[in-house]
Amino acid sequence: MKHCEGCEGCKIDKKLEDIKDKYKDVKGGIIGALHEVQDTYGYISTTAQKYLSKELNVPMSEIYGIITFYSRFSLTPKGKYNIQVCMGTACYVKGSEKVLNRFKEKLGIDEGQTTEDGKFSLEAVRCIGACGLAPAIVINKEVYGKMDVKKVDELIEEYTKK
Amino acid sequence: MSKKEMVTLTIDGKEVTVKKGTTILEAAREIDIDIPTLCFLKEINEVGNCRMCLVEIEGVKGFKASCVYPAEDGLVVRTNTKELIDTKRTILELLLSSHEKKCLTCVRSTNCRLQDLCRRFEIPDLEYEGEMPEADLDDSSNCIVRNTAKCILCRRCVNICKKVQGVSAINNLNRGFHSKVGVALNMGMRQSTCVGCGQCIIHCPVGALTEKSNVGSLREALADPSKHVVIQTAPAVRATIGEEFGMPIGSLVQGKMVAALRRLGFDKVFDTDLGADITIMEEATEFISRLNEGRDLPMITSCSSGWITFAEKFYPECLNHLSTTKSPMEILGTLIKTYYARKQGIDPKDIYSVALMPCSAKKAEIIRDELKLEDGIQAVDNVITTREMARMLKEANIDLAALDEEEYDAPLSVATGAGHIFGTTGGVMEAALRSVSYILDKTEIENVEFKNLRGTKGIKQAEINIAGKKHKIAISQGLANASKLLDQIKAGTSEYSFIEIMTCPGGCVNGGGQPIVDEYKASKIDVIGLRAKALYSADKKSKYRRSYQNPAVKDLYNDFLDSPNSKKAHKLLHTHYNKQEVYVEGK
């Protein structure tokens, strides 16, 4: 696992303390706290996990179990552009695997990873509800439908220039 | 019990009346119907996730998991229809499709719930040959090895670690095909909160969790003529090792065990129980001086290795409450490499000192820096569990059950009944109380049996009289219970003077290195109670029942140690504790 030194998510800052205070006395508050950490920092750092474990009195193994169970949570910082390839049934039948593989090949990363320049991260996700556009992907909040290998290349070029 | 609180149902054509709230599984067990289970562990893991206990209930749609379905009046339940049996066969086949299946070389072969069920359900050819999940073999701990290739994800280990021990070292990680039981941050057990107790091992239905084997280096030592190889045996092992040789649970086999170890080639066989007697002399003396000085009370016993690690990882602010007296194993180990070595004229470096223990945590205790002797040598070189030793004896064609009884070797052979009962919850406290008054002012107490300190209640309390003053004492078993007492100490509300803490439920008789009893069998008999009874019977038969009466103890203090808590005793028999950080990379 990748650990980063000194980046925003690895420090116990005011924002993290606020999240802790908000959920400290909430029963089952750990899920809510993890959501906020994820939204605030784009991932849940080891430092944040240890801090919440101690302050909310939840074992580390439980926190780690939650984070690795839900694909919503991430252990590594996401890229500036987070690419989500839908692997739902409709998209899958229409060839989303080829789309995913093309992204892996062109970006040189696996799913769940981030490119070294921090620009792109890649995820395979469950149905995003855009079956009519299958195979579909989402980059940050933008949906792109009827994807194919050529469109993958075009999108990468477009976002690299941004 | 009023009639209102009872329900009557029919299982496989047989009527059974049980308390309301009882599950169908347990109702069936009352009439000796053994519905197959893999994940069920009473009160600890009642999650219904393995699906092996499915039953058919008349008028209820679909099969139901009997381990979580409450018995109701008038239910008609069937456990053995063709559909159910076929379904269970499929469940087993699916489990096997992602199981390592190296049964021939698995340490749990012939004592594996999965193997047993496969035989019971006559699994034909393996139909599903598919991808195997990535295996995670974690041997970072000195006590426990985790192999996910054999794991069936029943969660018994996860929940015993969480609910009984309050340790939560492991949990279910990831999801779907990649699900596994693992450690936070994907680290090893060594970096986790694990205390090495091995409760996960003895509750694993398969071979996914095992003790870290130290058998290889012992084989080498025994075959090396330049080594003087000695062994000491813990109190609880004499009450359990017979089980591995087909003897009934609760068989006391001290003499047979000594004979077997001698056959295996040990130069001397010593008794850890003498170490326990010395522990009592040191600990009781320490307790009295703490009472007099009014410091670091309550004092907490320090024999149980897992508990020490627990304190160092979870309650570092309470370490001053722990008795500084070493554990009986370390005391005897120290005496072997000092007193015995000198008496025999052997260089301590040529002694290979082995301890036969009911415990997996002891494997980590012996390498503690705090316990190293002069020149940095270890007092104990190797810890072998009851199970490991049984396997070693078997490979050497030694049938322990068939041997005549033999005696321990002098000069570390005589132990009292007080030493024997160290192996069960309440035993250390009882042993201490038999000696405290005498050590304080030479008062001989009449009744040595403290029956109110016995039994398997999570936390036991009592009031005792020492030198005309009343003191409250407590005894806890299972570390989740210990936490309750420690939280009181932290909050400054503890009303006790003396606390005994044992890591494992029931104490060492149920330690992580002990013979593994199948869950169904264990639901029918009181395994812990029978093993404890064997130790209490050893106590009752003993010539001496108070540690200070032990002639070997007197000799040791006269010849070597001066007096309890003397300068020399402090140097050799006492230790200290340090905070342990968890989840630190590279540690």
Nearest to B183 among A46, A61, A69 (CB): A61
Cα–Cα distance for residue pair B151/B180, rounded to 1 Å? 8
Among residues B239, B333, B204, B360, the alpha carbon closest in space to that of B279 is found at: B333
Q: Are residues B205 and B248 in the same domain?
A: no
- Determine whether the interchain pair A69/B582 forms a contact, defined as Cβ–Cβ distance below 8 Å: no
Helices B427-441 and B272-293 pack at an angle, to 10 degrees, of 60
Q: Are residues B280 and B365 in the same domain?
A: yes
Q: Is residue A92 part of a domain?
A: yes
The answer to whether residue A2 is domain-embedded is no
* Number of domains within chain B: 3
Kindly state whether residues B191 and B278 are assigned to the same domain: no
pLDDT > 70? residue B196 = yes
Choose among A108, A110, A75, A109: nearest CA to A4.
A75
| Residue in B362, B363, B460, B533 annotated catalytic | B362
Cα dihedral B549/B555/B558/B561 (nearest 10): -100
Full domain range(s) for residue B228: 224-573
Dist. CA B164–CA B195, nearest whole Å: 13
Q: Tell me the sheet residues that pair with A82.
A: A121
B195 & B237 share domain: no
The distance of B586 to chain A (nearest Cα, Å) reads: 13
User: Is B430 noted as a catalytic residue in this protein?
Assistant: no
- Would you call B15 a catalytic residue per the annotation? no
Mean pLDDT of chain B: 96
Q: 3-state secondary structure string, B351-392?
A: EEEEEEECCCCHHHHCCCHHHCCHHHCCCCCEEEEHHHHHHH
Contacts of B447 (CB under 8 A, 6+ apart): none
Beta carbons within 10 angstroms of residue B367's beta carbon: 13
**What region, left, alpha or beta, does residue A161 occupy, with left being phi > 0 and alpha being psi -120 to 50 degrees?**
alpha
Domain boundary among A69, A99, A118: A69
pLDDT per residue over B503-516, tens digit each?
Answer: 999 999 999 999 99
Classify residue A142: in a domain, yes or no: yes
Nearest to A61 among B175, B184, B585 (CB): B184
Mean pLDDT confidence for B123-144: 89
Coil, strand or helix: which one is A113? coil
Within a domain: A123: yes
The two tokens of residue B149 are 């290739």
Question: How far is Cα B29 from Cα B22, in angstroms, rounded to an integer?
Answer: 11
pLDDT value at position A140?
A: 87
Q: Which two tokens stand for residue B78?
A: 């069937």
Q: Closest partner residue to A65 among B173, B583, B585, by Cβ?
A: B173
Flag if A60 and B184 touch (Cβ within 8 Å).
Answer: yes
Residues A56 and A106 reside in one and the same domain: no
Which residues of chain A does B185 touch, with a Cβ-Cβ cutoff of 8 Å?
A: 1, 46, 49, 60, 64
B131 is catalytic: no
Can you give the pLDDT at residue B3? 60
CB B403 within 8 A of CB B259: yes
Among this protein's residues, is B303 annotated catalytic? yes
Please give the span between the terminal C-alpha atoms of chain A, in angstroms, as a whole number: 29
Among the residues of A56-161, which ranges form H helices? 60-69, 89-93, 96-107, 149-161
Residue range B29-58: mean pLDDT, rounded = 96
d(CA B132, CA B97): 8
- Asked whether B551 and B558 are in contact (CB, 8 A), the reply is no
Nearest-angstrom CA–CA distance, B385 and B360: 7
pLDDT(B437) > 90: no
CA distance B447 to B464: 13
- CATH number for the domain harbouring residue B64: 3.10.20.740
Question: ipTM beyond 0.90?
Answer: yes
Domain boundary among B80, B105, B135: B80
Q: Does A28 touch chain B (CB under 8 A)?
A: no
Strands B351-357 and B228-233, how do they pair? parallel
Nearest CB to A63 within list B183, B184, B193? B184
Burial of B428 (0-12, 13-18, 19+ CB in 10 A): buried
The interaxial angle of helices A30-41 and A60-69, nearest 10 deg, is 60
Tokens of B61: 């749609």
The answer to whether residue B157 sits within a structural domain is yes
Same domain, B281 and B427: yes
Whether residue B286 lies in the annotated active site: yes
Q: Rounded to the nearest 5 degrees, what angle is found at the Cα of B228, between the Cα atoms of B222 and B234? A: 75
- Average pLDDT, stretch B192-220? 98
Low-confidence ranges of chain A (pLDDT < 50): 1-6
Beta strands in A32-74 (DSSP E): none
Closest Cβ opposite residue A1 in set B175, B185, B193: B185
Cross-chain Cβ contact B173/A69 below 8 Å:
yes
> Residue A138 in contact with residue A126, Cβ under 8 Å?
no
Question: Are A59 and A108 members of one domain?
Answer: no
- Whether residue A90 sits in one domain with residue A46: no
Q: Is A1 on the interface with B (CB under 8 A)?
A: yes
* Model confidence pLDDT, tens digit, residues B387-432: 999 999 999 999 999 999 999 999 999 999 999 999 999 999 999 9
In angstroms, rounded to a whole number, what is the distance separating the alpha carbons of residues B502 and A56?
28
Mode of pairing for the β-strands spanning B498-502 and B299-300? parallel
Mutation to test the B interface, candidates A47, A58, A61, most B Cβ within 10 Å: A61
The whole-angstrom separation of Cα B514 and Cα B11 is 35
CB-based contact A64 B171, cutoff 8 Å? yes
Of A1, A3, A68, the CB nearest to B173: A68
Q: Are residues B406 and B458 in the same domain?
A: yes
Statement to judge: residues B426 and B514 lie in one domain: yes
- pLDDT at residue A7, rounded to an integer: 53
- In a domain, residue A1? The reply is no
DSSP designation for B326? P
Query: What distance in Å separates the CA atoms of residue B183 and residue B192, rounded to the nearest whole number?
Result: 7
**What is the predicted pLDDT for the residue at B172?**
97
CATH code for position A150: 3.40.30.10
In angstroms, rounded to a whole number, what is the distance separating the alpha carbons of residues B280 and B358? 20
Same domain? A86 vs A157 = yes
Q: Please report whether residue B218 resides in a domain.
A: no
Q: What CA–CA distances, in Å, run from B261 to B252, B356, B394, B399? A: 16, 10, 12, 11
Our CA-based measurement puts residue B174 at a distance from the nearest CA of chain A, in whole angstroms, of 5
Residues A57 and A89 in one domain: no
A1 CA: distance to closest CA in chain B (Å):
8
Using an 8 Å CB-CB cutoff, list chain B residues near A50.
583
Q: Residue B434 pLDDT > 60, yes or no?
A: yes
Instruction: Give the pLDDT confidence score for residue B32 in this predicted structure.
Output: 96
* Domain limit, last residue, from B211, B242, B276: B211
Q: What are phi and psi of B223, to 5 degrees?
A: -90, -5
How many other CB atoms sit within 10 Å of the CB of residue B235? 32
- Give chain B's end-to-end CA distance (angstroms, integer): 56
Within 8 A of A59 by CB-CB distance, chain B residues are 162, 168, 171, 184, 193
Which amino acid is present at B336?
I
User: Could you tell me if B70 and B32 lie in one domain?
Assistant: yes
Number of H helices, E strands in chain B: 20, 18
Would residue B283 show up in a list of annotated catalytic residues for this protein?
Answer: yes
- pLDDT (0 to 100) of residue A78: 85
CA distance A160 to chain B (A): 32
Residues of chain B neighbouring A62 (CB-CB closer than 8 A): 168, 171
Whose tokens are 């009911």? That residue is B358
Amino acid A39: pLDDT: 87
A69 touches chain B (CB under 8 A): yes
C-beta atoms of A46 and B185 within 8 A: yes
Report yes or no: A132 at the B interface, CB cutoff 8 Å. no
Domain termination site, one of A69, A97, A121: A69
Domain boundary among A46, A69, A92: A69
Give CA–CA dist B103/B122, Å, rounded: 16
The answer to whether residue A5 neighbours chain B at the CB level (below 8 Å) is no
Residues B411 and B539 in one domain: yes
B177 to chain A: nearest residue by CA? Answer: A69
Would you call A54 an interface residue with chain B, using a CB distance cutoff of 8 Å?
no
Residue A84, beta-bridge partner list = A123, A138
Nearest-Cα residue of chain B relative to residue A2: B185
Among B177, B211, B245, the domain-final residue is B211
* Residue B288 belongs to a domain: yes
Of A3, A46, A65, Cβ closest to residue B171: A65
Of B131 and B174, which is predicted with more confidence? B174
pLDDT at position B131 is 85
Residues of A in contact with B169 (CB under 8 A): 61
- Check: CB of residue B435 under 8 Å from CB of residue B546: yes
B464 and B539 in a common domain: yes
Subunit contact A61:B169, Cβ cutoff 8 A: yes
Secondary element (H or E) of residue B84: helix B82-97
Q: Do residue B201 and residue B265 come from a single domain?
A: no
B508 tagged catalytic: yes
What distance in Å separates residue A72's CA from the closest CA in chain B?
12
CB B238 within 8 A of CB B185: no
Number of A–B residue contacts, CB under 8 Å? 48
Residue B550: phi and psi, rounded to 5, are -65, 120
Residues in chain A within 8 Å Cβ distance of B162: 59
Q: Is residue B24 part of a domain?
A: yes
Which regions of B386-537 does DSSP assign to beta strands (E)? 459-466, 469-477, 498-502
| B83 carries an active-site annotation | no
* Shared-domain flag, residues B403 and B501: yes
| CATH number of domain containing B549 | 3.40.50.1780
With cut-offs at 50, 70 and 90, classify the pLDDT of residue B294: very high
Q: Quote the percentage of chain B above a pLDDT of 70.
A: 99
User: Is A158 an 8 Å CB contact of chain B?
Assistant: no
In a domain, B586, yes or no: no
Residues A155 and A97 in one domain: yes
DSSP-assigned beta bridge partners for residue B147: B137
Per the domain annotation, does A137 fall within a domain? yes
pLDDT band at B4 (very low <50, low <70, confident <90, very high): low
- Domain membership of residue A59 as a residue range: 8-69
Contact (Cβ atoms closer than 8 angstroms) between residue B25 and residue B43? no
Regarding whether A157 and A95 lie in a shared domain, the answer is: yes
In the predicted structure, residue B220 carries a pLDDT above the cut 70? yes
| Residue B581, domain member (yes or no) | no
Q: Is the pLDDT of residue B45 over 90?
A: yes
DSSP secondary structure of B94-139:
HHHHTS---GGG-TTTTS-HHHHHHHHTT--S-----PPPPP-EE-
Catalytic residue among B141, B323, B497, B547: B323
Are residues A29 and A51 both part of a single domain? yes
Q: Does residue A75 fall inside a structural domain? A: no
3-state DSSP of B423-451: HCCCHHHHHHHHHHHHHHHCCCCCCCCCH
CB B536 within 8 A of CB B285: no
Taking an 8 Å Cβ-Cβ cutoff, which residues of chain B contact chain A? 162, 168-175, 183-186, 192-193, 582-583, 585
Number of domains chain A is built from: 2
Instruction: Give the pLDDT confidence score for residue B497 in this predicted structure.
Output: 97
